[in-house]
């Protein structure tokens, strides 16, 4: 199968945008399968910086087909902004972008609810309505593009949704109720924005698979934010894990040729929740500044720390990751001794397991191995030219993770990348 999954193997923001953009040169089709505009994929191409939230970054390459699958939650206003950004750069998505007719639409009341719940729960969400849109999907009161033309279905679906919304907003949070007339006009606008792009994308993609097209399945966020396997409840509400590809696109299990996990050379996390290797010191500040570790969606400063083998090993297992791409390697240039967390000490006992309960994870103290640092890798494009201590860091991680680091990024430009492995889309 000429297809690869590109998955975030930490807490999101691993640099998937750059890797997908680079690999999309080799692909015909690029698909998003989960998440929404909580994601922010930054790509530097032709000296220009692009930030994508919904549209796969493959859109920057000519002739590539981009699919937003049913597993995504879609805010049409955010989509419109992105389409306009692309048009402003002379890129017309009209004939190359397809949105599933089964995608769940983020309604203004989902955003209201996200803000209200965030005040109560303090998860540190992006307040973009992602969690409530997924909750409504599973509560069977969501709205999808295929529902928009069915007037009587739509009317009663919105009535059902608003019964729920207004009960929560008024009774639970003491806020103002949402008016049905406002939602009906929003829906009209939504229809105009997304109308030209809506398709049965599952059918389309299955046809592409039959035709042996080269496909990239592009994850958003990271597996440590997965609703099942992440640091619950400090997670997003979707399934960045590779299993999410099947349900999020409507394809069979044999459709994924190879699974590539993206990791940074260190770790970051944005929002609340435990982070065992977090550095609340000058080294953490240095990594944040050098790595420009500020959220692409919300601008929030990211928490920074050392590479965590325990959590990444868990991610490799639950997602069936076969190869790794390591990004932002150059950020650790000249930082002195580098540390890698190879175990956790929890309640006095050492373990290599990633605990499912967040309070237990919060008590995890990292057990570090120290490795020699290196001077400069920034901009190096040939593996053999890397300093020997940088190669030793890579080899040590490959050994302990039992997984090849086949792609290495040494700078923001797509040319600053070393690919030393064969991929299923080559």
Q: Which stretch binds ligand IMP (CB under 6 A): 152-160, 229-237, 277-285, 320-328?
A: 229-237
Query: In angstroms, what is the minimal distance from the CB of 318 to ligand IMP?
Result: 17
Name which of 130 and 198 has its Cβ closer to ligand IMP: 130
Which of 70, 100, 125, 311 touches ligand IMP (CB under 6 A)?
125
Q: Is 118 helix (H, G, I), strand (E, B) or coil?
A: helix
Q: How far is the CB of 264 from ligand IMP (least distance, A)?
A: 12
Among 41, 53, 110, 314, the active-site one is 41
Question: Alpha-carbon distance 209 to 213, whole Å?
Answer: 6
Where does 278-403 show beta strands of DSSP type E? Answer: 303-305, 307-308, 323-327, 338-346, 349-351, 365-371
- Here's the x/- map for ligand IMP, 59-88, by CB under 6 A: it reads as ------------------------------
Based on the shown chain and the rule CB under 6 A, indicate whether residue 37 belongs to the binding site for ligand IMP.
no
CA gap 316, 296 in Å, rounded: 25
Q: Contact between 230 and ligand IMP (CB under 6 A)?
A: no
Q: Of these, 3, 221, 277, 377, which contacts ligand IMP (CB under 6 A)? A: 221
- Exactly one of 96, 104, 128, 288 binds ligand IMP (CB under 6 A); that residue is 128
**CB-CB contact of 58 with 30 (8 Å):** yes
42 near ligand IMP, judged by CB under 6 A: no
Using the minimum distance from each CB to ligand IMP, give the nearer residue, 224 or 390: 224
Q: Does 201 bind ligand IMP (CB under 6 A)?
A: no
Say how many C-beta atoms besides its own lie within 10 A of residue 88's C-beta.
8
21 classed as catalytic: no
Q: How far apart are CA 224 and CA 9, in angstroms?
A: 7
# chain residues binding ligand IMP, by CB under 6 A:
21
- Residue 218 interacts with ligand IMP (CB under 6 A)? no
**Nearest C-alpha neighbor of 236 from the set 359, 141, 123:** 123
Which of 30, 31, 130, 198 touches ligand IMP by CB under 6 A?
Answer: 130
Residue 402 annotated as catalytic? no
Nearest to 84 by CA among 126, 106, 55, 127: 55
Q: Which is nearer to ligand IMP, 101 or 238 (CB)?
A: 238
Cite the DSSP H helix spans in 151-258: 151-166, 180-194, 201-210, 243-249
Note whether 98 and 145 are within 8 A (CB). no
> Whose CA is closest to 97, among 235, 226, 219, 196?
196
Residues lying near ligand IMP in the complex (CB under 6 A) are found at 12-13, 38-40, 123-126, 128, 130-131, 220-221, 225, 234, 236-237, 270-272
Catalytically active residues, by annotation? 13, 41
């Amino acid at each position: 199968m000429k297809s690869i999954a590109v998955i975030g193997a930490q807490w999101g923001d691993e640099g998937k945008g750059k890797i997908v953009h680079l690999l999309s040169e080799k692909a015909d089709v690029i698909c998003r399968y989960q998440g929404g505009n909580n994601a922010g994929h930054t790509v530097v191409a032709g000296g220009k910086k692009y930030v994508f939230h919904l549209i796969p970054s493959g859109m920057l390459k000519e002739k590539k087909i981009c699919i937003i699958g049913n597993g995504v939650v879609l805010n049409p206003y955010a989509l419109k902004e992105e389409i306009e950004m692309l048009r402003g750069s002379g890129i017309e998505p009209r004939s190359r972008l397809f949105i599933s007719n089964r995608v769940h639409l983020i309604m203004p009341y989902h955003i209201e609810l996200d803000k209200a719940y965030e005040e109560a729960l303090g998860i540190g969400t992006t307040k973009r309505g992602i969690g409530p849109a997924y909750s409504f999907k599973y509560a069977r009161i969501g709205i999808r593009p295929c529902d928009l033309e069915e007037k009587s279905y739509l009317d009663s679906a919105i009535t059902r949704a608003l019964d729920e919304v207004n009960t929560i907003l008024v009774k639970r949070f003491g806020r103002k109720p949402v008016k049905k007339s406002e939602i009906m006009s929003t829906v009209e606008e939504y229809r105009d924005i997304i109308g030209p792009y809506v398709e049965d994308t599952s059918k389309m993609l299955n046809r592409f698979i039959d035709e042996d097209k080269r496909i990239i399945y592009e994850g958003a966020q990271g597996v440590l934010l997965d609703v099942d396997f992440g640091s619950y409840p400090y997670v997003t509400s979707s399934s960045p894990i590779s299993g999410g590809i099947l349900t999020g696109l409507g394809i069979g299990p044999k459709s994924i040729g190879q699974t590539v996990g993206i990791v940074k050379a260190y770790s970051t996390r944005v929002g609340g929740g435990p982070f065992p290797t977090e550095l609340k010191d000058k080294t953490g500040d240095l990594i944040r500044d050098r790595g420009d570790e500020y959220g692409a969606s919300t601008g929030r400063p990211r928490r920074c720390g050392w590479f965590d083998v325990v959590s990444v090993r868990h991610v490799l297992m639950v997602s069936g990751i076969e190869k790794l791409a390591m990004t932002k390697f150059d950020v650790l240039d000249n930082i002195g001794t580098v540390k890698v967390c190879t175990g956790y000490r929890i309640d006095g006992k050492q373990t290599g397991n990633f605990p499912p309960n967040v309070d237990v994870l919060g008590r995890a103290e990292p057990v570090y191995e120290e490795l020699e640092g290196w001077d400069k890798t920034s901009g190096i494009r040939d593996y053999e030219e890397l300093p020997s201590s940088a190669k030793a860091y890579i080899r040590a991680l490959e050994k302990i993770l039992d997984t090849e680091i086949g792609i290495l990024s040494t700078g923001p430009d797509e040319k600053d990348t070393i690919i030393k492995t064969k991929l299923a889309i080559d």
